[in-house]
């Protein structure tokens, strides 16, 4: 008999401390798991107060486990065998499992629970019978009640019997969406996807805002931003991607402002527009990938000049990290290889050789008086295009093709 896992039991993380919000948290997590596992069409997900259940329905366990390991809000999970409620079947199952996983010197115990009280053996008898079955095939194994190497958990429920022994650590964090919504300013670079990942970890539901300046920026740059967003869906499900038309603004700045202030003004416009989109879409904060001192433009003075256009909180998850620390995370979350693809985004193309490292708010404001700031912002916001990015690339490609055909 070869045993295959039928179900995975999911243990919730920090959310268990959240009192009356508990059901809201659990429902969010269930929805996120469903989104992430939508790449496996036969998998079904349910959730009750104490645990989540992922029913494999014949789907391979290993890849599903890999997906589950990434989802924020999961403390740990256990793969489970579902078996017939028959003592002979259960004995055979524990023997098969133990001969498969036993290594010299390991200790074990059987912990049985009988929810179905009509079952012929009670939990103590089950422990003895199944423990005895293990000794039949592994006569040298030691039983140990405290911290055994293998803890065979057996549960007799109304509908079936369940056995599990493995516990896999989850990603921790909070389920995405339980902390409210934030707008992630997503370029094609290394830092902003990492910033997005860190915000997701603390339960922020992100929407990706990407500024594109065709024809100066290529479809490749846009695809890169899409692909980066897709990488972020594996931590908590689908993400709305908002493309902002930025060409008019960049041309206007280039024409009306001195070279040294191009960067500052560009960023001030991005901030204003992101904030406007946030307001319409009920976001609470803005998230970006600014990192202090990383490039000449990322000084505290510069941050102040850019931030002056809004009072909305701006979260900068990577602000104090070294570049190498950020790259480590980018590699871990598999965004690094995409980020280093050579498609220039709007900022690189319009970037001055020597941006001002200590821009003055007053000067920025003076240059902006030469432009119709409100009109430019309004037109950009009116021209946004929103797409939902899902974990499944194929599906997304089909959607993209469809859109292309329509245009
Ligand atoms: P990244 O690696 O995220 O591109 P960076 O080190 O290149 O960051 P900057 O180019 O100074 O830094 O950009 C700072 C932040 O501004 C980015 O992390 C991002 O949040 C935002 N940003 C820059 N360009 C864009 C863009 N085209 N669309 C959306 N946000 C952007
Ligand atoms: Mg960049």
pLDDT tens digits for range 272-317: 999 999 999 999 999 999 999 867 678 999 999 999 999 999 999 9
Residues 181-205: what's their mean pLDDT?
97
Looking at the structure, tell me whether residues 131 and 189 fall in a common domain. Answer: no
Flag whether 2 is in a domain.
Answer: no
Q: Annotated binding residue at 210?
A: yes
Both tokens of 15, joined, read 């959310």
Examine residue 107 and state whether it is found in any structural domain, yes or no: yes
- Let me know whether 165 and 215 are in one domain: no
Domain count, the chain: 2
- pLDDT value at residue 344: 78
Both 70 and 187 in a single domain? Answer: no
Do both 106 and 250 map to the same domain?
A: no
Last residue of a domain, one of 169, 204, 227: 169
User: Is 395's pLDDT higher than 60?
Assistant: no
For residue 379, the CA-to-ligand 2 centroid distance in Å is: 24
Q: How far is the CA of 104 from the CAs of 23, 91, 142, 238, 304, in angstroms?
A: 44, 21, 10, 45, 63
Residue 64 lies in a domain: yes
Residue of the nearest CA to atom 12 in ligand 1? 290
Give percent above pLDDT 70 in the chain. Answer: 94
Ligand 1 centre distance from Cα of residue 274 (Å) = 13
Sign of the four-CA dihedral 197, 203, 204, 205: positive
The domain containing residue 64 runs over which residues? 7-169
Lowest mean pLDDT among 33-42, 81-90, 225-234, 397-406: 397-406
Same domain, 187 and 160: no
Which H, E and C letters describe 46-87, residue by residue? EECCCEEEEECCCCCHHHHHHHHCCCCCEEEEEEEEEECCCH
Distance from residue 253's CA to the centre of ligand 2 (Å): 19
Q: Between 322 and 349, whose confidence is greater?
A: 322
pLDDT value at residue 407: 58
pLDDT tens-digit series, residues 108-151? 999 999 999 999 999 999 999 999 999 999 999 999 999 999 99
Same domain for 165 and 198, yes or no, is no
Please give the torsion angle defined by the CA atoms of residues 311, 313, 316 and 319, in that order, rounded to the nearest 10 degrees: 60
| pLDDT of 398 over the 90 cut | no
CATH number of the structural domain spanning residue 30: 3.30.2130.30
Contact 56, 7 (CB under 8 A): yes
Q: Outline where DSSP puts E strands in 192-323.
A: 205-212, 239-245, 285-287, 314-315
Give me the chain's average pLDDT, please.
93
Residue 191 has pLDDT above 60, yes or no: yes
One domain for residues 159 and 216: no
The answer on whether 55 is annotated among ligand-binding residues is: no
Peptide bond into 188 cis (omega under 30): no
Residues 224 and 250 in one domain: yes
The answer on whether 185 is annotated among ligand-binding residues is yes
Distance CA 161, CA 207 (A): 43
Nearest atom within ligand 1 for CA of residue 246: 27
Q: Within this chain, do residues 90 and 188 fall inside the same structural domain, yes or no?
A: no
Q: Return d(Cα 191, Cα 294) in angstroms, integer.
A: 10
Q: How far is the CA of 315 from the centre of ligand 1 (A)?
A: 13
Last residue of a domain, one of 131, 147, 169: 169
pLDDT score of 378: 98
How far apart are the CA of 123 and the centre of ligand 2, in A? 60
Which of the ligands is closest to the CA of residue 224?
1
Q: Which two tokens stand for residue 9?
A: 């039991």
Q: What is the DSSP letter of 141?
A: P
Band (394; pLDDT cuts 50, 70, 90)? low
Domain assignment of residue 174, yes or no: no
Residues 334-362: pLDDT tens digits? 999 999 999 877 766 677 777 888 999 99
Same domain, 163 and 207: no
Asked, for residue 57, whether it belongs to a domain, the answer is yes
Whether 16 has a pLDDT exceeding 70, the answer reads no
The finding on whether 185 has its CB within 6 A of some atom of ligand 1 is yes
Residue 292: burial class (beta carbons within 10 Å; 0-12, 13-18, 19+): middle
Cβ 288 under 6 angstroms from ligand 1: yes
| Coil, strand or helix at 204 | coil
pLDDT at 42: 97
- Which ligand places an atom closest to the C-alpha of 288? 1
54 shares its domain with 93: yes
Nearest ligand 1 atom to the CA of 184 is: 20
When pLDDT is averaged across residues 95-100 and rounded to a whole number, the result is 95
397: CATH: 3.40.50.620
Q: Examine the pLDDT at 11 and tell me if it is beyond 60.
A: yes
pLDDT(59) > 60:
yes
Boundary-marking domain end, from 103, 137, 169: 169
State yes or no: pLDDT of 209 exceeds 90.
yes
pLDDT at 356: 84
Q: Do 236 and 383 fall into the same domain?
A: yes
In a domain, 144, yes or no: yes
Q: What is the pTM of this model?
A: 0.89
């Amino acid at each position: 008999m070869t045993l295959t896992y039928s179900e995975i039991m999911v243990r919730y993380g920090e959310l268990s401390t959240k009192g009356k919000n508990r059901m809201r948290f659990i429902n969010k997590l269930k929805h996120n798991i469903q989104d992430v596992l939508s790449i496996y069409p036969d998998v079904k997900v349910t959730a009750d107060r104490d645990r989540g259940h992922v029913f494999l329905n014949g789907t391979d366990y290993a890849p599903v486990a890999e997906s589950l390991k990434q989802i924020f809000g999961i403390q740990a999970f256990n793969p489970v065998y579902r078996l017939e409620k028959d003592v002979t079947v259960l004995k055979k199952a524990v023997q098969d499992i133990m001969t498969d996983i036993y290594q010299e010197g390991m200790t074990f115990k059987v912990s049985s629970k009988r929810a179905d009280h009509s079952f012929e053996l009670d939990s103590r008898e089950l422990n003895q019978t199944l423990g005895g079955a293990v000794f039949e095939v592994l006569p040298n194994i030691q039983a140990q009640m405290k911290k055994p190497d293998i803890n065979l958990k057996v549960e007799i429920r109304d509908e079936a019997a369940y056995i599990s022994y493995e516990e896999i650590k989850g990603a921790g964090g909070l389920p995405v969406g339980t902390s409210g919504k934030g707008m992630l300013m997503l370029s094609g670079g290394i830092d902003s996807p990492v910033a997005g990942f860190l915000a997701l970890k603390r339960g922020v539901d992100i929407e990706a805002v990407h500024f594109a300046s065709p024809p100066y920026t290529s479809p490749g740059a846009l695809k890169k931003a899409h692909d980066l967003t897709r990488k972020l869906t594996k931590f908590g499900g689908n993400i709305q991607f908002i493309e902002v038309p930025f060409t008019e603004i960049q041309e206007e700045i280039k024409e009306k402002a001195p070279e040294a202030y191009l960067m500052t003004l560009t960023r001030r416009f991005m901030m204003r527009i992101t904030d406007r989109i946030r307001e319409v879409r009920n976001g609470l904060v803005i998230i970006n990938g600014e990192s202090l001192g990383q490039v000449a433009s990322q000084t505290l003075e510069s941050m102040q000049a850019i931030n002056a256009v809004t009072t909305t909180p701006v979260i900068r998850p990577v602000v104090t990290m070294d570049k190498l620390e950020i790259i480590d995370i980018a590699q871990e979350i598999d965004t690094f290889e995409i980020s280093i693809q050579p498609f220039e985004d709007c900022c690189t193309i319009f970037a001055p050789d020597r941006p001002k490292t200590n821009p003055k708010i007053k000067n920025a404001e003076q240059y902006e008086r030469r432009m119709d700031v409100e009109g430019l912002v309004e037109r950009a916001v009116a021209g946004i295009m929103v797409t939902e990015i899902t974990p499944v690339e194929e599906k997304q490609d089909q959607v993209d093709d469809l859109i292309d055909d329509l245009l």
